[in-house]
Amino acid sequence: MDKRVNIQWFPGHMNKARNEIKEIMPQMDVVIEVIDARISYSSENPMVAALRGEKPVIKILNKADLADPDLTQAWMAHLEQQAGVKAIACDNNKADDVKRIIALCKKMVPNKVGTGRQIKAMIMGIPNVGKSTLINTLAGRAVAKTGDEPAVTKSQQLIKLDDDIMLYDTPGMLWPKVENENSGYRLAATGGIRDTAFDFADVASYTAEYLLSAYPELLKTRYKIDELPKTDWEFFEMAGRNRGFIKKGGVVDTYRMSEILINELRSGKLGRITLETPAMIEAEEIIVAEQRLAAEEKKKAREEEKRLRRLKTRKNRK
């Protein structure tokens, strides 16, 4: 099935936060970026790399308990190929996982430890990756507002973690344009974008196509299907019928089934699932680069056409 999505969601407070982060970034010693282990590429904010420059960064693959463990390890190795990057898989519910972050901060900025000079660490992440819950566990107290909806935190705050580390919290930020349409679908499927900002059935259809290929056994087990169909719409028909989602006239309520699929993916009821692999992303980035180049060439052609029209108009006036 050919699908198109255009998910752009950049509230005003996110733009304000980006400008504030740009101003205080030079003061930071280390950046902590929280990403979703299920979408380790799509939940990375490209603005973080642009804003941090050469500062060391700790990539926290959060919600690792919901992700495919083998792919989490693959993503950690892939991310650490970047200069100045350390990666940790983390489950918000495990305090030991979270406290390793404090130890790593000190390891990455050893010149300040025990000197009375605080390490300044900025924590960043897109909406709904569990950043606020992570902060509360790090601090050992409720200092950050949490919620299941994206974009709960809307302003910066300072949090003292211990005598050596001061944490600068920032609002969850998406970037103005998601170039890779696959990333848009994955962000929507995992809850990084408000459900009102996209077509729910479209995202569920995209997700079902991927799961039929990548995690067929999980679908069979969860929805009691002995032999999976080949298409997403046939899957929604079959699974919806098995769940008893029947409307008048014996028609299956496939929309309700699509909601169930996404909600059970998000909650982990479907199983431990990762929606992208390093190899997939390498292929997608080639396509995105080609699309970007084509768009730039098209823009240049339009500008040249306008220039020629202006010249022609000037000549006619003479």
Residue 301 has pLDDT above 70, yes or no: yes
Q: Number of C-alpha atoms within 13 angstroms, CB side, residue 172?
A: 29
- Containing 235, the helix (H) or strand (E) segment is helix 232-243
Q: How far apart are CA 290 and CA 309, in angstroms?
A: 29
**Residue 31 sits in the same domain as residue 104:** yes
Domain that holds residue 252: 199-267
Report the range of poorest mean pLDDT among 39-43, 164-168, 208-212: 164-168
**Residue 149 sits in the same domain as residue 238:** no
Helix 232-243 vs helix 200-214: crossing angle, to nearest 10: 100
**Residue 137 sits in the same domain as residue 33:** yes
103 falls within a domain: yes
pTM of the model: 0.84
**Residue 44 sits in the same domain as residue 100:** yes
Closest CA to 128 of 181, 194, 32: 194
What would the pLDDT profile of 25-68 be if each residue is shown by its tens digit?
889 999 999 999 999 999 998 888 888 888 899 999 999 999 99
218 falls within a domain: yes
Question: What single-letter amino acid sits at 266?
Answer: R
Q: What is the pLDDT of residue 179?
A: 82
What would the pLDDT profile of 114-161 be if each residue is shown by its tens digit?
788 889 999 988 888 888 888 888 887 777 665 544 444 445 678 888
174 falls within a domain: no
Residue-averaged pLDDT of the chain: 86
Q: What is the pLDDT of residue 10?
A: 53
Q: What is the pLDDT of residue 318?
A: 63
Report the range of poorest mean pLDDT among 156-160, 205-209, 234-238, 244-248: 156-160
179 falls within a domain: no
Binding site members for GTP: 62-65, 128-133, 172
80 falls within a domain: yes
Domain containing residue 113: CATH number: 3.40.50.300
**Residue 80 sits in the same domain as residue 143:** yes
The first and second tokens of residue 58, run together, are 């700790």
- Containing 17, the helix (H) or strand (E) segment is helix 12-24
Q: What is the pLDDT of residue 92?
A: 64
Q: Final residue of a domain: which of 267, 283, 301?
A: 267
**Residue 125 sits in the same domain as residue 54:** yes
Which one of 139-143, 170-174, 186-190, 312-316 scores highest in mean pLDDT?
Answer: 186-190
Binned at pLDDT 50, 70 and 90, residue 239 comes out as: very high
Q: What is the pLDDT of residue 12?
A: 55
